[in-house]
Amino acid sequence: MKTENERANPIGVFDSGVGGLTVVREIMRQLPGEKIIYFGDTARVPYGSKSKETITKYSRQIIRFLKTKNVKAIVIACNTASAYALEDIKNEIDIPIMGVIEPGARAAAMTTANKRIGIIGTEATIASGIYSEFIKKILTDAKVAGKACPLFVPLVEEGYTDDPVTTEIASRYLKDLKQENIDTLILGCTHYPLLRKTIADIMGSGVSLVNPAYETATQLREMLMKEGLMAEEKLDEESGKYEIFVSDTTKKFEDFARTILPSDFDSIRKINIEEY
Amino acid sequence: MKTENERANPIGVFDSGVGGLTVVREIMRQLPGEKIIYFGDTARVPYGSKSKETITKYSRQIIRFLKTKNVKAIVIACNTASAYALEDIKNEIDIPIMGVIEPGARAAAMTTANKRIGIIGTEATIASGIYSEFIKKILTDAKVAGKACPLFVPLVEEGYTDDPVTTEIASRYLKDLKQENIDTLILGCTHYPLLRKTIADIMGSGVSLVNPAYETATQLREMLMKEGLMAEEKLDEESGKYEIFVSDTTKKFEDFARTILPSDFDSIRKINIEEY
């Protein structure tokens, strides 16, 4: 068991932009006693089309920033950064760190009956093949098929979440996966749960959609318990419990944050991430 | 007239990503004697949804990098950076610098008959109102209407340049502009000329489409002449005439560069732009 001070320290969560707030929302629900420091890399968003080297460099900078805030653990709430950077970084830091891929893979492995699982995500996440790796550690004979859906993020950001154009594009992206006879589909990008209805309609009722955010919060709880790092559950609502930092200030981010988060947070602060 | 050495120095051109290569292509055609150093900020692309402060910081870093290559003049081949950063930066550097907005505005002002001009571009370019400012310096009684088209860049990057989905989205974006009775439409983002056919079909034959790239190369020639900086026209084809640098290496960038540029270039080199 760590000291009370350590246990009272915040959890650091980061993403390339706003999407990771869906994971924060889940952590707020499942771990109401925890303080959270969130960082959204809005000056360099998106990550999904960039290289492993660049994503790893950005992730290291963000972790250095979060550590200046005395975080006791870190959640990479971005599929692309989890896919490309987590493995290297995990060996470099002295506090517990986790991503969204392993929880998503575990949830899918627990959900599937026919062992045929689909994954949709950014180009980088799909190219990494990492969901398949983690799934096969649990279900060695699983058949896994992936498909990159690069237009989903811009469509969500344009507000076309329930729109015939999005349905048409989703139908194209999901066509091959439909033929794979999958019974489980991982929404492998934090923006995609906002397209859940469209995707569910296309895939049909025989396919369960898995959102890694829920399972991530559950595994975070397990990790904190194991490390003796859980905060007191009875922490009162207080100013400063949830802090949000970004690398660029945009109206869109603030609107999205206020829409998605159930609890209030202090004003969003901008920092120069290149300095870290 | 500057020294022969100075005149033989390259022109620096930059953009957030690949789009500025359409401007490079035009410079290659109109100024075949010039060497070019191109920088594409592929690690931080796109710029169109980011703040003025961030875009200006990125532009300053890129200019510092280009100056290490002894460029004799700089072209900001990005509408967003031209809109947000050029005015501040122009007062800070000791070599000639120009963007794509003023050339685009001039071309539109020369094209329109009814003095009603439309502009499409990124959210940042449209929010800046700068095209309107420049047009009204030439045509004080012009009526100018702008519309941000944030999905156009991702659609082009997905290869949906001639596609019913793109036609549907373009119809929505252009609906209001069609009602403004414009006779001239500026393609205010370097990706948009790749959607020229779709946009032309929607706007109809009564509307002329202006691509600032052509006029930018023409104004670059004027600027070099005025400053006594034109290279000798008879420069032989040689290795190293065209050099391309990026902040992140991706296959997509290289493919696009080889497709769009009429002349060959040495391998694309990656640099750490945050160091500048």
A92 and A15 assigned to the same domain? yes
B206 and B221 assigned to the same domain? no
Q: Which residue of A has its CA nearest to B163?
A: A169
Say how far apart CA B147 and CA B188 lie, in whole Å.
Answer: 10
Q: Which residue of B has its CA nearest to A151?
A: B154
Domain boundary among A164, A191, A212: A212
Task: Assess whether the previous peptide bond of B46 is cis (omega < 30° from 0).
Answer: yes
Phi-psi category of residue A134: left, alpha or beta, with phi > 0 → left and psi -120 to 50 → alpha = alpha
- Does residue A145 belong to the interface with chain B, where contact is any CB pair within 8 Å? no
pLDDT tens digit sequence for B90-111: 999 999 999 999 999 999 999 9
Residues β-bridged to residue A12: A37, A74
B43 and B144 assigned to the same domain? no
B31 and B113 assigned to the same domain? no
Domain boundary among A212, A228, A257: A212
A201 and A157 assigned to the same domain? yes
A51 and A145 assigned to the same domain? no
Among candidates A23, A77, A75, A78, which has minimal Cα distance to A46? A78
CA distance to partner chain B, nearest, from residue A260 (Å): 20
Is B162 flagged in the annotation as binding? Answer: no
Per-residue confidence (pLDDT) for residue A55, from 0 to 100: 97
Instruction: Tell me which of A18, A51, A58 to substitute to probe the interface with B (most B C-beta atoms closer than 10 Å).
Output: A51
Reply yes or no on whether A78 is catalytic.
yes
The sheet carrying A269-270 orders its strands as A97-98, A73-76, A11-15, A36-40, A242-246, A269-270
| Helical residues (DSSP H) of chain B, grouped into ranges | 4-8, 21-30, 52-68, 79-84, 86-90, 101-111, 123-128, 130-138, 152-157, 164-178, 196-203, 212-226, 251-260
CA distance to partner chain B, nearest, from residue A222 (Å): 35
Report which secondary-structure segment, H or E, holds A101: helix A101-111
Q: Which residue of B has its CA nearest to A169?
A: B165
The sheet carrying A116-121 orders its strands as A143-148, A116-121, A184-188, A208-210
Domain boundary among A181, A212, A243: A212
Reply yes or no on whether A189 is catalytic.
yes
A34 and A74 assigned to the same domain? yes
Per-residue confidence (pLDDT) for residue A236, from 0 to 100: 61
B66 and B79 assigned to the same domain? yes
Q: How many domains does chain A have?
A: 2
Say how far apart CA A241 and CA A8 lie, in whole Å.
Answer: 11
pLDDT tens digit sequence for B256-274: 888 888 877 878 999 999 9
Per-residue confidence (pLDDT) for residue B237, from 0 to 100: 59
Q: Residue A244 above 80 pLDDT?
A: yes
Answer whether B250 sits within 8 Å of A50, measured CB to CB.
Answer: yes
Per-residue confidence (pLDDT) for residue A264, from 0 to 100: 79
Report which secondary-structure segment, H or E, holds A219: helix A212-226
Phi-psi category of residue A264: left, alpha or beta, with phi > 0 → left and psi -120 to 50 → alpha = beta
pLDDT tens digit sequence for B54-68: 999 999 999 999 999
CATH number at residue A57: 3.40.50.1860
Q: Which residue of B has its CA nearest to A149?
A: B158
Nearest to A151 among B43, B158, B249 (CB): B158
ipTM over 0.85 threshold: yes
Which A residues in the span 21-50 are in contact with B, Cβ-Cβ below 8 Å? Answer: 42-44, 49-50
Contact A155, A128 (CB under 8 A): no
CA distance to partner chain B, nearest, from residue A2 (Å): 38
A25 and A38 assigned to the same domain? yes
Q: Could you list the residue range(s) of the whole structural domain that residue B92 is in?
A: 4-99+214-275
Chain B hits for A249, Cβ within 8 Å: 51
Mean pLDDT of B15-34: 94
Report which secondary-structure segment, H or E, holds A145: strand A143-148
CA distance to partner chain A, nearest, from residue B99 (Å): 22
A203 and A257 assigned to the same domain? no
A60 and A108 assigned to the same domain? no
A26 and A77 assigned to the same domain? yes
